[in-house]
Amino acid sequence: MRQAADDLLGAEPPVLTGALVGYARVSTRDQRLDRQTRALEAAGCIRIFADKLSGKNTDREELTKAMDYLRSGDTLVVPSLDRLARSLADLVTIVAELRRRGVGFRSLKEALDTTTPGGRLVFHVFAALAEFIRELIVEGTHEGLAAAKARGVRLGRPPAMTPEQVRHARALLTQPDATVSSSARLLNVSRSTIYKYVPELATARPAVEQPAARAEMETGG
């Protein structure tokens, strides 16, 4: 994120001699593109890319096409900032990438233009704010994990076998006729899981387990 801010401020504004390229986006069935595309056409865009996203389809394919279409000296124009990006960090990343490629950026609603000193300053503030938010989230996550650990909360994935299941599996040591396979089916775990949590079974019962397991396989049990 800091690199993105440097990219926005560090270089001289590109000389914009290319085309104005528009991008519009709607995210629900109720929204229509007409108003956005009319605004982009009025701004002088010669080509407009538009995404219609739904709950099942969230890929911004047209934005990808727009980014591929843009050349150095062009300007990407959007009706508003929220039509381009889903988050502040996303916005800063996209605009920084445009700047690295010598492409300008304008947002009509907010009257932002990255080729002007004022526009670049605004995006530098955006980048700093996005970095600040990211650090707050990371810090909050670490503090939350530490507090949970202090309360005795077990972190990470739950164990494949509960202590009660492990005790049941260990009971095999005192039941000569039982097998690891039958116990695994009863506990709804795999044989390898039982051996992982009760490793002594592998050495304590090899002579009994192997013939029994073979018999189960032959009978389909």
Please classify residue 92 by burial: count the beta carbons closer than 10 Å to its beta carbon, then call 0-12 exposed, 13-18 middle and 19+ buried: buried
Closest C-alpha among 31, 75, 73 to residue 50: 31
Integer CA distances (angstroms), 211 to 4, 178, 180, in order: 65, 12, 12
Q: Which residues are catalytic?
A: 27
Contact by Cβ (8 Å): 131, 5:
yes
Q: Where are the alpha helices (DSSP H) in 151-190?
A: 163-170, 180-187
Q: How far apart are CA 78 and CA 62, in angstroms?
A: 13
Residue entry with tokens 């592998």: 202
Residues 6+ apart with CB under 8 A from 71: 18, 103
